[in-house]
Amino acid sequence: MSWKDARRIMKAKIAELIQQAVAAYLQSLGLAPPESLDCTIQLPKNPAHGDFATQAAFALARHLKRPPIEIARGLAAHWPPSDLVASVEAAPPGFLNIRLRSSGMANALRTVLTQGAEYGRSRMGEGKTAQVEFLSANPTGPLHIGHARNAIAGDTLARILAAAGYTVTREYYFNDAGNQMRNLGESLRVRYLQALGHDAQLPEDGYFGNYLVDIAARLRAEHGDSLAESADVDFFTAYAVQHILKLIEEDLRALDIHFDVWTTETAMYREGRVESVLRRLRERGFVYDHDGAVWLRSTAFGDEKDRVLIKSDGSMTYLVPDIAYHDQKLERGFDLIVDLFGSDHHGYVPRLRGAIEALGYDASRVRWRLYQMVTLLRSGVQTKLSKRAGEIVTIQQMVAELGRDVVRFFFLMRELDSHLVFDWDLALKADWTENPVYYVQYAHARICSIFEKAASLGFTWEGLEASPLDRLTLPEEQALIKEMTRFGDVVERAARDLEPHGITLYLRELAATFHNYFTRGTRDPDSRVIQPEDPGLMQARMALIAAVRIVLRNGFALLGISAPEKMERQAAAPEC
RNA sequence: GCGCCUGUAGCUCAGUUGGAUAGAGCGUUUGCCUCCGGAGCAAGAGGUCGCAGGUUCGAAUCCUGCCAGGCGCGCCA
DSSP structure string for A186-214: HHHHHHHHHHTT------TTS---HHHHH
Helix (H, G, I), strand (E, B) or coil at A366: strand
CA of A146 to C1' of B68 (A): 26
CA dihedral angle for residue A479, residue A480, residue A481, residue A483, rounded to 10 degrees: 80
Query: Can you tell me the distance from the alpha carbon of A248 to that of A209, in angstroms, rounded to the nearest whole number?
Result: 14
Highest mean pLDDT of the ranges A13-17, A25-29, A341-345: A341-345
| The residue type at A508 | R
CA of A109 to C1' of B71 (A): 46
Average pLDDT over residues A47-71: 78
A37 in contact with nucleic chain B (CB within 7 A): no
Strands A95-100 and A85-91, by their bridges, are antiparallel
- The answer to which of A8-12, A196-200, A203-207, A459-463 has the lowest mean pLDDT is A8-12
Chain B: positions less than 7 Å from a protein CB are: 2-7, 12-17, 19-20, 24-27, 32, 35-42, 57-58, 69-77
Tell how far CA A206 is from the center of its chain: 35
Query: Can you tell me the distance from the alpha carbon of A182 to that of A134, in angstroms, rounded to the nearest whole number?
Result: 24
Let me know: does A356 contact A330? Beta carbons within 8 Å: yes
Let me know: does A25 contact A59? Beta carbons within 8 Å: no
- The answer to which of A235-244, A350-359, A387-396, A495-504 has the lowest mean pLDDT is A387-396
Residue A431, pLDDT score? 47
Residue A146, pLDDT score? 87
β partners of residue A375 = A384, A421
Residue A391, pLDDT score? 59
Concatenated DSSP letters of A72-94: HHHHHHTPPP-SSEEEEEEETTT
Shortest CA–C1' contact from A59: which nucleotide? B57
Q: Which residue is nearest to nucleotide B7 (CA to C1')?
A: A418
Helix A475-485 vs helix A501-523: angle between axes, to the nearest 10 degrees? 170
Nearest to A416 by CA among A499, A505, A344: A499
Residue A389, pLDDT score? 44
Q: Which residue is nearest to nucleotide B36 (CA to C1')?
A: A450
Tell how far CA A128 is from the center of its chain: 18
Residue A475, pLDDT score? 85
Burial-class residue A383 by CB neighbours within 10 Å (0-12, 13-18, 19+).
middle
Hits for CB < 7 Å against strand B across A residues 443-472: 445-446, 449-450, 453
Query: Can you tell me the distance from the alpha carbon of A318 to that of A80, in angstroms, rounded to the nearest whole number?
Result: 66
pLDDT digits (tens, 9 = 90+) for A93-132: 788 888 877 777 888 899 999 999 999 999 899 999 999 9
Sign of CA dihedral A417, A421, A424, A430: negative
Average pLDDT over residues A517-541: 92
Residue A576, pLDDT score? 30
Let me know: does A206 contact A186? Beta carbons within 8 Å: yes
Average pLDDT over residues A337-353: 92
Average pLDDT over residues A283-308: 93
pLDDT digits (tens, 9 = 90+) for A471-502: 998 888 988 998 898 898 899 999 999 999 99
Respond yes or no on whether ipTM tops 0.85.
Answer: yes
Query: Can you tell me the distance from the alpha carbon of A58 to that of A62, in angstroms, rounded to the nearest whole number?
Result: 7
Residue A444, pLDDT score? 94
pTM of the predicted protein model: 0.91
pLDDT-derived band at A34, boundaries 50, 70, 90: low
Average pLDDT over residues A288-301: 93
Helices (H), A457-500: 475-485, 487-497
The 10 Å Cβ neighbour count of residue A567 is 14
Average pLDDT over residues A153-172: 97
A63 in contact with nucleic chain B (CB within 7 A): no
Residue A307, pLDDT score? 95
Residue A33, pLDDT score? 65
A489 in contact with nucleic chain B (CB within 7 A): yes
Burial-class residue A448 by CB neighbours within 10 Å (0-12, 13-18, 19+).
middle
Helices (H), A167-272: 179-195, 210-223, 233-254, 265-270
